[in-house]
């Protein structure tokens, strides 16, 4: 896990738990951050001479168990969530097996894997930053260079001939995690409110009390039903909105754009709708030229690509003029007041930019404002660290952080928004864990099998009695 992912996770923790919850615990967060950096330094130094005191085998077994557990429940995810879970589980299992196999060859292969992951991620980050040129593109480029430097460190054999590969990964994870925990503690200590939304203290307390009473301790067995009031994220996928049959391109037409047989580019669309009547859908007032020749130029998040935007009035009007959304994500646990305040402020500026201020980035920001403090409302009634532990142990936090990081270093697209909304829905509306779901399915299958066996035994007994009576 690199620094950009850790930063995305820190911001998600701030959004889901809320500043009020974290501010009372900033000292503990600061202490944990400092301890994490210190422990990372000890492990890194220990690995430099190739003679490890770090308990590598127990750690490898834990990695293997984590990888197997992730693979076992990966099928419960949807879309990109499922893919990321399979990637994570496979990477953990393969890494753990290479450690357990041991030897020079196993360590060398492991170094190549980790080095390649850092190299590819760093190169993608640099390329996307230079193409898109968003506000912090230079900082993102520096982060990409750091990842490439780490990749080179893993590739070359000095100073331990690859013996400390796993220890280095753990050390880097502790470094990045500790640093971002310190940043989180510093931010929440200074903040009077979450930057996603501003409100006065009286209304904040009133809203928090009312919302907490309705969702406290609730675990949902699935998404909201059609008759339930819920926040809805509408997504028109690029393939689903192509004017003619799209040329299928793996990953590209899912997360970037689809190209139909006529060469026309379709990027899809995203919108957000609440039962209270808020509808957020930003679209360019004048259609942007999306031909292949002009598309690369309009990708840059620079002022010359700003165009007048238009907020659609409601879903009924937009879907009638275009087509119904192809995917929907619905969330119960949201704050209508925070969403309304965000919308009243955001719609004052109707600027549209294909990269940094588009339909998808608008929906992502609105969604974050709406679910601010959602996890604290569900798990915070008993106080303590339970809300933080719950979201940190939920796989969707890692998925959401990966999606947010990629969007922040490239651009928000309808495909990324769809995966982001699905992950956040699992965090805002807690579901039973994947293991619980698997246990329920297994028990239900056993129950049905037992009922079928009993029915078959009863039918066989009746057949025997009938045959016996016939013979008599």
* Residues 1-12 pLDDT 10s: 555 666 777 788
- What's the whole-number mean pLDDT along residues 362-389? 82
Report how far residue 353's alpha carbon sits from residue 379's, in angstroms, rounded to the nearest whole number.
38
Percent of the chain with pLDDT over 70: 74
Model confidence at 96, in pLDDT bands (50, 70, 90)? confident
What the block records as the tokens of 253 is 């037409």
pLDDT score for 247: 66
- The reply to whether 107 and 131 lie within a common domain is yes
Q: Which residue has the tokens 């004052």?
A: 348
Is 23 inside a domain boundary?
Answer: yes
**C-beta of residue 363 within 8 angstroms of C-beta of residue 401:** no
- The reply to whether 286 and 339 lie within a common domain is yes
- The reply to whether 292 and 388 lie within a common domain is yes
Q: pLDDT tens across 23-62, in order?
A: 888 888 899 999 999 998 988 888 887 666 767 778 788 8
Highest mean pLDDT out of 115-124, 334-343, 444-453? 334-343
- What's the whole-number mean pLDDT along residues 261-284? 87
Q: Which residue has the tokens 């054999």?
A: 157
pLDDT score for 348: 92
- The reply to whether 20 and 137 lie within a common domain is yes
- The reply to whether 97 and 125 lie within a common domain is yes
Asked if residue 370 has pLDDT above 90, the reply is yes
- The reply to whether 238 and 315 lie within a common domain is yes
Nearest to 413 by CA among 303, 183, 181, 253: 253
pLDDT score for 4: 62
Nearest to 191 by CA among 21, 346, 386: 21
**C-beta of residue 332 within 8 angstroms of C-beta of residue 431:** no
- The reply to whether 224 and 181 lie within a common domain is no
Model confidence at 187, in pLDDT bands (50, 70, 90)? confident
Exposure class string for 453-466: b at 16+ Cβ within 10 A, else e: eeeeeeeeeeeeee
Contacts of 458 by beta carbon, 8 Å cutoff, 6+ apart:
none
- The reply to whether 111 and 227 lie within a common domain is no
Q: pLDDT tens across 135-162, in order?
A: 677 888 888 899 999 999 999 887 777 8
- Count the domains in the chain: 3
Asked if residue 109 has pLDDT above 80, the reply is yes
Q: What is the mean pLDDT of the chain?
A: 78
CA 199 → CA 86, 105, 370, 415, distances in Å?
Answer: 41, 58, 13, 32
Report how far residue 374's alpha carbon sits from residue 368's, in angstroms, rounded to the nearest whole number.
10
Domain boundary among 170, 190, 210: 190
**C-beta of residue 331 within 8 angstroms of C-beta of residue 429:** yes
Model confidence at 64, in pLDDT bands (50, 70, 90)? confident
pLDDT score for 263: 67
pLDDT score for 353: 85
- The reply to whether 253 and 276 lie within a common domain is yes
Asked if residue 443 has pLDDT above 80, the reply is no
- The reply to whether 240 and 378 lie within a common domain is yes
- The reply to whether 374 and 438 lie within a common domain is no
Is 398 inside a domain boundary?
Answer: no
Domain residues for the domain of 441 are 433-472
């Amino acid at each position: 896990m690199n620094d950009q992912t850790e930063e995305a996770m820190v911001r998600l923790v701030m959004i889901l738990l809320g500043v009020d919850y974290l501010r009372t615990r900033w000292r503990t967060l600061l202490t944990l951050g400092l301890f994490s950096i210190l422990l990372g330094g000890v492990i890194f130094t220990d690995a430099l001479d190739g003679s490890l005191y770090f308990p590598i085998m127990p750690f490898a077994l834990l990695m293997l168990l984590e990888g197997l557990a992730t693979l076992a429940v990966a099928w419960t995810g949807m879309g990109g969530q499922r893919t990321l879970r399979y990637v994570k589980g496979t990477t953990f299992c393969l890494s753990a097996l290479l450690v357990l196999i041991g030897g020079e060859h196993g360590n060398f292969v492991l170094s190549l894997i980790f080095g390649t992951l850092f190299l590819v991620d760093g190169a993608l980050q640099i390329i996307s930053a230079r193409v898109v040129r968003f506000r912090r593109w230079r900082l993102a480029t520096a982060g990409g260079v750091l990842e490439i430097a780490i990749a080179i460190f893993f590739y070359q054999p000095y100073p331990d001939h690859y013996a400390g590969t796993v220890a280095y990964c753990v050390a880097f994870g502790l470094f990045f995690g500790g640093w971002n925990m310190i940043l989180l503690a510093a931010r929440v200590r200074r903040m009077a409110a979450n930057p996603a939304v501003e409100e006065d203290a009286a209304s904040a307390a009133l809203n928090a009390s009312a919302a907490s009473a309705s969702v406290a301790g609730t675990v949902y067995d699935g998404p909201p039903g059609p008759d339930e009031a819920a926040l809805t994220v509408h997504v028109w996928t690029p393939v689903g909105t192509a004017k003619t049959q799209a040329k299928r391109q793996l990953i590209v037409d899912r997360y970037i754009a689809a190209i139909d047989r006529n060469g026309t580019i379709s990027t899809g669309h995203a919108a957000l709708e609440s039962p209270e009547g808020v509808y957020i859908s930003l679209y360019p007032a004048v259609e942007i030229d999306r031909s292949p020749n002009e598309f690369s130029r309009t990708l840059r998040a620079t002022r010359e690509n700003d165009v007048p935007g238009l907020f659609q009035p409601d879903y009924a009007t937009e879907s009638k003029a275009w087509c119904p959304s192809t995917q929907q994500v619905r969330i119960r646990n949201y704050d209508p007041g925070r969403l309304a305040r965000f919308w009243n402020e955001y719609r004052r500026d109707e600027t549209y930019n294909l990269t940094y201020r588009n339909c998808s980035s608008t929906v992502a920001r609105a969604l974050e404002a709406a679910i601010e403090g959602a996890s604290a409302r569900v798990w915070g009634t008993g106080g303590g660290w339970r809300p933080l532990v719950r979201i940190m142990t939920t796989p969707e936090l890692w998925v959401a952080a990966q999606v947010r990081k990629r969007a922040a270093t490239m651009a928000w697209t309808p495909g990324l928004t769809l995966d982001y909304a699905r992950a956040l829905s699992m965090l805002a509306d807690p579901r039973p864990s994947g293991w619980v779901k698997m246990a329920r399915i297994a028990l239900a299958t056993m129950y049905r099998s037992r009922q079928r066996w009993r029915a078959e035994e009863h039918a066989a007994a009746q057949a025997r009695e009938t045959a016996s009576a016939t013979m008599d």
